[in-house]
Structure 1
Amino acid sequence: MPNETDKPRTGTPRLRKPDATDGADIWALVRACKPLDENSMYCNLVQADHFRDTCVLAELDGEVVGWISGHMIPNEDALFVWQVAVSPKARGLGLGRKMLSELLARDACSGAEALKTTITKDNDASWALFRSFARKVGGDLDDAPHFESDAHFDGQHATEHMVTISLPQEPRLARAA
């Protein structure tokens, strides 16, 4: 018999900037979203506190169901998306794309001419999200090996491909709508 907490949610997720008190909930969400790499709870707390302007949290029925951590890359006009987590309870709502759009509409990301992220070749869900987002905004998507398995991960992690989506330079709100 399904548990009440396993039921899909309905309604519209509320998107907001995180704060330090969200760190534990973010950490629990990321741990529940395999195959995402788990960071420490402290890392998620620092992200929610220090990088709140370039991170987004989604809540549905009072529960954290989505998270994107990111930052503007120093000396570049690019938003780097570190991690995207969507709870199984909120999948199928287009939440990943909505959170990306929310970030790009923020003042903190107004100078972004590109969105960058790294993805392993076998992460089909991430490829689908970022390809869909590139189509939605009318941007070109390119990728190339970046953090390589042997050179950067001592053979203990698959190569991460740097994915770059060029962002059209039309008005930000129209682009992210």
Structure 2
Amino acid sequence: MPKDMITTEKDLPRTRAPLLRKPEATDGAAIWDLVRACKPLDENSMYANLIQADHFRDTCVLAELDDEVVGWISGHMIPQQDAFFVWQVAVGEQARGLGLGKKMLKELISRDVARDACELKTTITKDNDASWGLFRSFARDIGGDLDDEPHFTRDEHFDGAHATEHMVTIALPTRAGTLRRAA
């Protein structure tokens, strides 16, 4: 067989969808590695990712493809609010273009822990085009309105060391559970 006709496994089209699941504490290091590889995300300590995976597992989602962590969203319900806050979204290079970010967001807001959420909130710097694209697309898909305003400002909150973070708010359908039935 001619050398240029040899097909390797990496040349074959990907047919399996990533597995979405709640993280375990043992996923902390892999999550940390993924976040570090997904610039421009702010890196937390490995310990912070371990705590998220352990203490906040119900409000976080991990995506695996061939037993490799390829996606991660950390989040939580905001205390005293009917709002689900998304802290970080990370999709590894090998899983980009699969719509994985939106799938993970839909998974999270369909969980019982988010049943009282009327809004999804996140913060995004103005120059993070990938995040803006993801959340605008997510809002369109669920029929929610997206608003934003400066929230954590460069000078007031970050002492000039970080760009202003805009609070993005997406109105969720009547109840997050609506997405569970529609999905």
TM category, shorter: over 0.9
In structure 1, the partner of 2:96 is 91
In structure 2, the partner of 1:57 is 62
Q: How does 1:18-37 map to 2 (within 5 A)?
A: 18-37=23-42
**Structure 1 segments (4+ residues) deviating >4 Å:** 6-9
Per-residue deviation at 1:174?
A: 3.3
Aligned residues: 172
Select 2:180's aligned residue among 170, 173, 176: 173
User: What is the root-mean-square deviation in Å for CA atoms of aligned residues?
Assistant: 1.6
1:46 equivalent to 2:64? Answer: no
In structure 1, the partner of 2:133 is 128
Q: How does 1:140-151 map to 2 (within 5 A)?
A: 140-151=145-156
Q: TM-score if structure 2 supplies the norm length?
A: 0.90
Per-residue deviation at 1:7?
A: 7.6
Structure 1 or 2, whichever has the larger Rg, is: 2
**Residue by residue, what CA displacement relative to the aligned partner does 1:121-175 show, whole Å, maximum 9, x if unpaired?**
0000000000000000000000000000000000000000000000011524135
In structure 2, the partner of 1:153 is 158
Query: Does the CA contact (< 8 Å) of 1:56 and 1:99 recur in 2?
Result: yes
Select 1:73's aligned residue among 78, 89, 101: 78
Q: Counterpart of 1:153 in 2: which secondary structure?
A: coil
Alpha-carbon spacing, 1:8–1:71, altered in 2? closer, same or farther (3 Å): farther
Q: Counterpart of 2:157 in 1: which secondary structure?
A: helix
Q: Counterpart of 1:129 in 2: which secondary structure?
A: helix
Per-residue deviation at 1:46?
A: 0.2
Alpha-carbon spacing, 1:8–1:38, altered in 2? closer, same or farther (3 Å): farther
1:108 equivalent to 2:105? Answer: no
Alpha-carbon spacing, 1:172–1:30, altered in 2? closer, same or farther (3 Å): same
Alpha-carbon spacing, 1:152–1:107, altered in 2? closer, same or farther (3 Å): same
Per-residue deviation at 1:9?
A: 7.6
